[in-house]
Every structure is written in C-alpha cells, then in structure tokens.
Amino acid sequence: MTAPEPQTRPTVKMKPKSNARAIRHGFPWVYANELVTDRRTKKLAPGTLAVLVDENQAPLGLVSVNPESKIIARMLDRDVEAQIDTDWFRARLSRALELRELMYDAPFYRLVHAESDGLPGVIIDRFGAACVVQPNAAWADAHLDALTEALGDVTGCDVILKNASGRTRGLEGLDDVNLTLRGDAPTAPVPVVMNGATYMADLTGGQKTGLFYDQRDNHAFAAKLVSDGDKVLDVFSHVGGFGLAMLAGGAGHATCVDGSAAALDLAGQGAEASRFGDRFTARQGDAFDVLTALGSEGAQFDVVICDPPAFAPSKQAVEAGLRAYERVAKLAAPLVKPGGYLGLCSCSHAADLSKFRNASARGIGKGGRRSTILHTGYAGADHPQLPQLAESGYLKAVFFRLD
C-alpha cells in the first residue's frame, strides 16, 4: 500500500473533552470512543495514515487509523508531514539497535519493543543473522516491505521472518499467515546462549518468535539462588528458561514442566547442548495437575519457579486471572523446602504489580507457608518501558523466601 502524500492525508479529530493532553504528553493511543467517527473516518482502510487534531483543530501528530480496532489511532510521528518510508524505518531501527548493542555482547535480543521503540505494535526479536517480526498493527502490515528492507539494511540479517500468531493481530482484523520475508527460513532450532546455558529457539514452529528474551535478567537472578546439588522445579518452562539457567548456576537437577511436548523437547536439546542432559528431567502435562501430583508425592525442591502465560490478558479478565495466580502459588508453596525460594511471574499487563504480588502472597499463605519478598524483577533492557504506557511494562517476577 502506498502512503498518501502529506498534503492529501485525511484528518481525524478527537472528541471534545477527550484526553488530547495525554496524547501531547506522550500517550501513543487513541481509543475508539475518543475519536470523531463519522462516515468518512469509518470508511478509512485499516492502516491509513492520517493527521490527528484536537477538538480545536490543532495538530497532534501523524497517526495510523484502524476503524476496526478499539485502538483506533496509533501515534507514529509528531511531524504530521513525516514520510513513513524505508528511510523513516531505518532511523527508528538504527536507534533501537544502538541501545541493544550498548547492552548486549551478542546479537540475541528483542530489537524492537513496539511503542517503546517508536514502532507501535511492532515486535522484532533478533537471533544472530535472523530476525522474526511480529507486525501486530494494521499500519505495520501495510508497510511491511519498507520495514523489511530497512531491517535488512540496518542489521545485515539475511533471514527475516513474519510471525502472525497471537491475539493482538486478531484484534486488529489481520491474518494469521506466517511468511518468509527474506532469505531461507532455518530448518533447525537456533541455539541461543544466555546466562551460561544454551537455549533452542524454533523460529518457525515455536511459540511467538521462538524464545522469550524478556526473562533473561530474572533467569540470572534465579541462578544466584542455587547451590551445588540443589533440586529445582521450573513450571510453565517453555524451552527450559529458568531450569536451564539454574543448572548453569550450579543446581544439581532441574525438572521442567510444560503442556507442550515440542517445547520440552527443545528444553531437552538445550540441556544436552549445555552439557546438563544428565541433570535434566522433563514432565509434560497441565501445570495445575502436575503441581497437584507433585504435592501428593511429597516432592520437595530448593527452588520452584512458576512462569505461566497471561492469565489476565484484559481488564475484564483480571479477577479470574488473579484467582489463577493465587492458585498457582497455593499449589507451588508446599513444594518448597523450608528456607527455599519460590519465584512467581506474571506477563499480564492488566494485573499490576500490587495486585499480582497480593494474590501470590495470599496463595502462599493458603498453601500453609510464611514468606518474605526477596526480590522483584522486570523485563530486561531490550524491553524498554514507555512511561505513559503501562502495557509496555507488563512483566513482573516476584521471588519469595519461604519459612
């Protein structure tokens, strides 16, 4: 789709008494109930570039419009005449790359964290010479060719993949078709070394982009909690995130639990590649069922980590999600040896830290244990937070010591 020239772009207007001040102060979204949605606006194709003005016709910036989404407009540039072309993408990507190269020694990280890196709705994870792009907003889908060209120019990556999975694309009215945008998709998992362990990332068939970089710093903290010979349990482990890191930290044995046989197979491959294979066990099954069974078996571990999927993906799901987090804590707490550690994680932006921490503490108490909070962790520096957008700081990891 070719973007209109600046002078021909449509104008969209915020309603009287809407929160235009928040937009001026950096909030990147306009919700559908804040915009004047006349017939002309409703007919705009998803991803159309438009000039956003306040109720007094004062320009606020260049936005992308999607009448099919609750987030009807996303701020792209404060310059209403900006051209969203390959050069524009190069500038944004170069700035994002500069930060990652400052923070990381090897090219394995989240390169673009959506709004926080000035590319609303766009996620890009880098795996050496390959990048996986999640264009989770209509405008990004419409400008995918320019984004791909700029991404190859800036990073030098010869493989670029489009991952179209996930709830967000559905909310934008977008397809779920994965594509190879440049080069040849890898036919084998890509090894990624982090915190002394090797993880196997399936870039074409795995969850999301293939690996969750956001927990890297929390993996490192968990590894500090183990001593030689310790037994650890990693629940909702995906490809072995916390388990492999704790093995690298000196744990004697790690049991990884996940519902996905494919993910656990990758975890096992990672354990072998890290030379931890003889200290690794996979247990497939529903996490709640496995936690219940381990309790019945009288199993005990020095460190237990639970990193579930988003139980509260929206405001409407918060109460049910908090009950689920509480139940995880209740089932996990009895599995921790006296004086051991329990790490509980949430990637639900709608359940803020206070609510999640309180639900976890209630669950630990209902599990018959007393606790103190040792540490609270967040996503790493490759997942920067936009101060005005709480959703960009979604990850919480709270580590408890249990008496």
Question: What are the residue numbers of the active site?
Answer: 347
Helix, coil or strand: residue 311 = coil
Tokens representing residue 401 in the block: 């010591």
Give Cα 289 distance to the centre of its chain.
26
**Residue 401 CB contacts under 8 Å (≥ 6 apart), including other chains:** 339, 340, 341, 371, 372, 374
Using CB atoms within 10 A of its CB, is residue 145 exposed (0-12), middle (13-18) or buried (19+)? exposed
Helix, coil or strand: residue 139 = helix
Helix 318-332 to helix 353-366 angle, to the nearest 10 degrees? Answer: 40
Residues 13 and 142: their CA atoms lie apart, in Å, by 22
Q: Could you write out the DSSP letters of every residue in 222-249?
A: HHHT--TT-EEEEES-TTTHHHHHHHHT
Q: Could you write out the DSSP letters of every residue in 250-268?
A: T-SEEEEEES-HHHHHHHH
CB 330 within 8 A of CB 389: no
DSSP 176: -
Run of H or E residues at 357:
helix 353-366
Within 13 Å, how many C-alpha atoms sit on residue 37's CB side? 18
Give the gyration radius of the chain's Cα atoms.
23
Run of H or E residues at 144:
helix 144-155
